[in-house]
C-alpha cells in the first residue's frame, strides 16, 4: 500500500512530536533502545525483543509493520521526539477499525527519558488520535504485574481494569492486567495538535474527508 500520507501525520503535545520515523531516525531509535529500556531482570514486553543485545531485528520489525499494513489490520509505530530528540516509540494498532472502533496501544522510552511525564504525554497523543482523530470508542492497554509505570499511566488517564491473563515472554508465566478506556471517560490532560490526518483516513479504513 502507498503509506506516503502517513509520513505527513504529526501529533504535537507541549513537549513532544510523534511521527513515523524515517530511515535514519529508525537507526537513532535503535540506539536509544540499545541504551536500555528496562532493568535486565524485569521483562515488560509480551515478546522479549529487548533480550537480543544487538537488537538486530529492530529495523526489520518497523519495516515489516509498514510492508504488512492493511486497512483491515494496521500497526502505526510512531517515533516520539522530545524537543527534537528521538526518545522512544508509541504504537497504536487496530483490526477492522470501522467495525470495532477499538485501538490498542503499546510504547517504550529509553530509560534516561523515563519518569518525566513523557510516557503520559505520548499516550495522551495516541488517545487523541484514536478518539478525536479517528472516532474510536474504546482504547485497550495492559501490562505485566510489576510494570508500575505503564499501569500508572493507564490509571492516570482513566482506564479501568477489564481482565487479565498470562504471558510468558521468557518462558515463565507472568500475570498480565488488561485495561480499557472508553471514549466518554476520556479527558486529555494536555492539548494535542493533529496534523496531516485527512489524507491518511483511508489507510485506517475510514472515508476520506
Ligand X SMILES: CC(C)(COP(=O)(O)OP(=O)(O)OC[C@H]1O[C@@H](n2cnc3c(N)ncnc32)[C@H](O)[C@@H]1OP(=O)(O)O)[C@@H](O)C(=O)NCCC(=O)NCCS
- Given a contact cutoff of 8 angstroms between Cβ atoms, the answer to whether 159 and 181 are in contact is yes
Beta carbon nearer to ligand X, 116 or 160: 116
In whole angstroms, how close is the CB of 98 to ligand X at the nearest point? 26
Task: Select 94 or 107, whichever has its Cβ closest to ligand X.
Answer: 107
Q: Determine how many CB atoms are found less than 10 A away from the CB of residue 132.
A: 15
- CB 52 to ligand X: min, Å: 16
DSSP 3-state helix, strand, coil percentages of the chain (rounded to 5)?
35, 30, 35
Residues at the site binding ligand X, with contacts judged by CB under 6 A: 37-38, 44-45, 106-109, 114-120, 143, 147-150, 152-153, 156
CB of 206 vs ligand X, minimal distance in Å: 27
Report which residue's Cβ sits closest to ligand X. 119
Residue identified by cell 500500500 is 1
CB of 173 to ligand X, least distance (A): 16
Looking at the Cβ atoms of 27 and 155, the one nearer to ligand X is: 155
- Which residue, 149 or 199, has its beta carbon nearer to ligand X? 149
Q: Cα(180)–Cα(139) distance, rounded to whole angstroms?
A: 6
* Nearer Cβ to ligand X (122/200): 122
Q: State in angstroms the smallest separation of the CB of 151 from ligand X.
A: 8
Please give the grid coordinates belonging to residue 37.
529500556
Measured torsion, CA atoms of residues 56, 6, 187, 16, in degrees rounded to the nearest 10 = 60
Q: DSSP letters of 136-186?
A: -SEEEEEEETT-HHHHHHHHHTT-EEEEEEEE-TTSS-EEEEEEEEEGGG-
Amino acid at each position: 500500500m502507498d503509506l506516503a500520507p502517513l509520513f505527513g501525520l504529526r501529533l504535537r503535545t507541549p513537549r513532544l512530536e510523534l511521527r513515523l520515523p524515517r530511515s535514519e531516525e529508525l537507526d537513532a531509535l535503535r540506539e536509544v533502545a540499545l541504551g536500555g529500556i528496562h532493568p535486565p531482570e524485569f521483562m515488560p514486553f509480551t515478546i522479549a525483543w529487548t533480550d537480543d543485545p544487538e537488537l538486530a531485528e529492530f529495523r526489520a520489525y518497523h519495516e515489516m509493520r509498514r510492508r504488512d499494513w492493511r486497512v483491515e489490520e494496521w500497526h502505526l509505530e510512531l517515533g516520539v521526539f522530545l524537543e527534537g530528540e528521538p526518545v522512544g516509540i508509541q504504537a497504536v494498532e487496530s483490526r477492522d477499525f470501522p467495525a470495532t472502533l477499538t485501538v490498542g496501544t503499546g510504547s517504550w522510552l529509553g530509560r534516561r527519558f523515563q519518569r518525566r511525564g513523557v510516557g503520559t504525554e505520548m499516550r495522551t497523543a495516541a488517545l487523541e488520535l484514536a478518539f478525536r482523530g479517528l472516532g474510536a470508542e474504546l482504547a485497550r492497554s495492559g501490562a505485566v504485574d510489576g510494570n508500575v509505570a505503564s499501569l500508572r499511566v493507564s490509571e492516570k488517564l482513566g482506564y479501568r481494569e477489564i481482565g487479565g491473563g498470562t504471558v510468558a515472554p521468557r518462558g515463565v508465566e507472568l500475570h498480565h492486567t488488561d485495561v480499557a478506556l472508553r471514549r466518554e471517560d476520556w479527558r486529555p490532560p494536555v492539548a494535542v495538535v493533529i496534523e496531516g490526518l485527512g489524507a491518511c483516513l483511508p489507510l485506517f479504513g475510514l472515508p476520506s474527508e
